[in-house]
Amino acid sequence: MVTPMIHEVAAGLHGTETAAAGAVTAYMLPFAGLMLFSGTLAERWGRRRTMRISLLVFVFASAWCAFSPDLPWFLAGRALQGATNAFTTPLLVAAIGDLVPGERLGRALGWFAAMQAAGQAFSPLVSGLSSAVHWRLAFVFPAVVALVLAALPPDEASSARRATGRASWRALLSARLAVACVVSFTCYLAAVGLTVLSTLRAQQVFGLGPAERGLVGAGFGVAGLVCAGVLGRLLDRAGARTVGLAMNALLVTGVLVAAFSGTIALLALGIVLAGIAVTGLRSTVNSLAVTSAPGNRGGASSLALSLQFFGGALAPALWVPLYTSSGSWGFAAGALAPALAFGVVAVTPKLLAPR
């Protein structure tokens, strides 16, 4: 949500655009760090209670961001937002793994990815339009949504498990889960880099304002939303290896198209291709994670997602300086991450066989 309004946040809090882009890292680092163990802890505490508390703290963190007097306070609020969300997303993936039969798991995770894509589609659009009035207004909408969700938590049947106290850390020692973590990390290392750099390119090269940048960035989520159902069915039919190879190749293409775009249309096309690829990779990673450790689905999901968001946290710090110094070639370097994942998936066919 911050990427379309980096310029406005920097100006409003008297910082640089590079420092304001650190809002992505400030969110991602605690988000990813806590997810190393948040899923296992939530399995022990109870998913419903954990999610309700996390949502309420998120409301407070959003207000903190909205009323921050300077950039350090703003970044601290973003860190708290990330910390709270570490205890929500992996629990949803784990619940789907418990509730859905294996032959339909890809489709279910595809629809879950579609809802994530919808969030990504509307997030830059809402924040871009809000920041056209004032950037602080962008934090009102997610706070209201979190408050509503906290008031209407899933029942214990939907959240699949009560607190057991027995979720095992040892169950996470799985080679299949390790491959999922590698793909997850490289996917977001490229994808978050692309979204941040596309925003900077849209402003610096094409002169787009915050609302226009938000609209272009929304193509990432809209494309994923439109294609998620098809990608989920493909995952059920073709398997994780085929989908993983195809989506990593598509992500390489999307990054390169956006990096060397000479028109707004080409920039938007690169974003759309990446949105489709990331949605397919999310479903693939989540499927591999929940089937790698049935005794601790929450822990496996949170570990894979943790690596995903560590990649997202590293992306601005790695790619923004490269883009600043090398322009389009620095942007294009982001394609190396999914190229690496393609190689890992290609050489591990047995680990990715259906279960």
25-34 pLDDT, tens per residue? 888 788 878 8
pLDDT at 101: 83
Contact 277, 234 (CB under 8 A): no
For 327, phi and psi rounded to 5 degrees?
60, -135
- Note whether 331 and 259 are within 8 A (CB): yes
The two structure tokens encoding residue 38? 């948040």
Per-residue pLDDT band for 163 (boundaries 50, 70, 90) equals very low
Q: Residue 160: what pLDDT?
A: 47
Percent of the chain with pLDDT strictly greater than 70: 95
Q: Lowest mean pLDDT of 36-50, 226-240, 279-293, 327-341, name the range.
A: 36-50
Q: Examine the pLDDT at 169 and tell me if it is beyond 90.
A: no
CATH topology of domain 3-155+174-346: Growth Hormone; Chain: A; (1.20.1250)
| pLDDT of amino acid 325 | 93
Question: Under a CB-based contact definition with an 8 Å cutoff, are residues 270 and 259 in contact?
Answer: yes
Asked if 337 and 217 count as a contact pair (C-beta separation under 8 A), the reply is no
Structure tokens at 17: 């655009």
Q: Is the pLDDT of residue 241 over 80?
A: yes
In this prediction, what percent of the chain has a pLDDT beyond 90?
38
User: Would you say 87 and 38 are in contact if contact means Cβ atoms under 8 Å apart?
Assistant: yes
Q: How far apart are CA 243 and CA 204, in angstroms?
A: 35
253 compared with 213, residue with greater pLDDT: 253
Return the closest-CA partner of residue 299 out of 86, 156, 26: 86
pLDDT of residue 170: 77
Q: Give pTM, 2 decimals.
A: 0.76
- DSSP state, residue 165: S
Residue with more model confidence, 159 or 210: 210
Residue 119 has pLDDT above 80, yes or no: no
218-243 CB burial, b ≥16 within 10 A, e <16: bbbbbbbbbbbeebbebbbeebbbeb
Tokens of 70: 């300077």
CA angle 239–244–246, rounded 5-degree value = 105
Q: Who has greater pLDDT, 337 or 109? A: 337
Task: Spell out the domain ranges in the chain.
Answer: 3-155+174-346
pLDDT digit string, tens, across residues 331-348: 999 999 999 999 999 999
Residues 285-290 have a mean pLDDT of: 88
Q: What does the pLDDT average to over 256-284?
A: 94
Give, as one character, the DSSP assignment of residue 139.
G
DSSP tally for the chain: helices H, then strands E = 15, 0
Closest CA to 121 of 226, 228, 209, 219: 219
Residues in the chain, overall count: 355
- DSSP-derived secondary structure for 21-81: HHHHHHHHHHHHHHTTTHHHHHHHH-HHHHHHHHHHHHHHHHHHHHT-SSHHHHHHHHHHH
